[in-house]
C-alpha cells in the first residue's frame, strides 16, 4: 500500500533520484565544447559529445587554418 511509511520514503527517494540524476541540456553544453581545429592532432568535437582529432584535408590549397577538419575517432 502506498500510504505506508516505508513505501512513501521509497517513492520519495525515487522521485528525488529521477529529478537529480541527469543534467539538463543547457548544463551539458556549458563546459563541453572544444575550440575549432587549428593544428594537426588537436582534440576537437566531431559532433555533440563525440571526440575527434584534427586532420589535414587532402590536396588543400587554401589558407592553413581552412585545411584542418575534425575527424571522428571511432
The model's pTM is 0.51
pLDDT above 60 (res 50): yes
Q: Residue 49: CB partners within 8 Å, gap ≥ 6? A: 28, 32
Residue 31 has pLDDT above 60, yes or no: no
Would you tell me how many other CB atoms lie within 10 Å of the CB of residue 52?
19
Q: What is the mean pLDDT of residues 28-46?
A: 79
**What pLDDT sits at residue 3?**
62
Cα–Cα distance for residue pair 35/67, rounded to 1 Å:
15
Radius of gyration in angstroms for the set of CA atoms belonging to the chain, rounded to a whole number: 23
Q: Does residue 54 register a pLDDT over 80?
A: yes
Amino acid at each position: 500500500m502506498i500510504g505506508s511509511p516505508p513505501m512513501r520514503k521509497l517513492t520519495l527517494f525515487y522521485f528525488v533520484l529521477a529529478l537529480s540524476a541527469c543534467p539538463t541540456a543547457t548544463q551539458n553544453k556549458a563546459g563541453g565544447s572544444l575550440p575549432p581545429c587549428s593544428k594537426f592532432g588537436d582534440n576537437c568535437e566531431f559532433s555533440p559529445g563525440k571526440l575527434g582529432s584534427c586532420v589535414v584535408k587532402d590536396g588543400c590549397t587554401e589558407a592553413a587554418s581552412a585545411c584542418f577538419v575534425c575527424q571522428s575517432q571511432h
